């Protein structure tokens, strides 16, 4: 089966990834290029948040440390998680 990837609706420059925000214990959708973050499923160009801003507001002092975010895999628009 051919893998279907979803382009970032914000920047269009990279593929969306399912990620785990390790210390917050949450899953999200993330664009590695523009750092757009979607906490709720169904990414749209108008409902993202900046990753660094969200993490700092959530109490994470250095959100760009590698251990803050774990890649689960490519975002699949029809996934149920």
Could you read off the pLDDT tens digit of each residue along the chain, which spans 81 residues?
566 899 999 999 999 999 999 999 999 999 999 999 999 767 788 889 999 999 999 999 999 999 999 999 999 876 444
The predicted structure's pLDDT at residue 43: 78
DSSP 20-76: EEGGGTEEEEE-TTT-EEESSSS--TTS-EEHHHHHHHTT-S-TTSGGGEEEEEE--
Q: Is residue 44 domain-resident?
A: yes
The predicted structure's pLDDT at residue 34: 97
Q: Is residue 64 domain-resident?
A: yes
Q: What is the pTM of this model?
A: 0.86
The predicted structure's pLDDT at residue 74: 95
Q: Is residue 46 domain-resident?
A: yes
Q: Is residue 57 domain-resident?
A: yes
Total of domains in the chain? 1
Separation CA 77–CA 61 (nearest Å): 31
Q: Is residue 81 domain-resident?
A: no
- The range of the structural domain enclosing residue 43 comes to 17-74
């Amino acid at each position: 089966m051919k893998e279907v990837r979803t382009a970032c609706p914000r920047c269009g420059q990279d593929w969306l990834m399912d990620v785990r925000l390790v210390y917050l214990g949450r899953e999200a959708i993330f664009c590695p290029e523009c750092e757009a973050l979607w906490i709720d499923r169904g990414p749209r160009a108008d409902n993202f948040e900046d990753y660094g801003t969200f993490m700092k507001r959530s109490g994470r002092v250095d959100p760009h440390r590698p251990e803050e975010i774990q890649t689960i895999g490519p975002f699949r628009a029809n996934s149920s998680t």
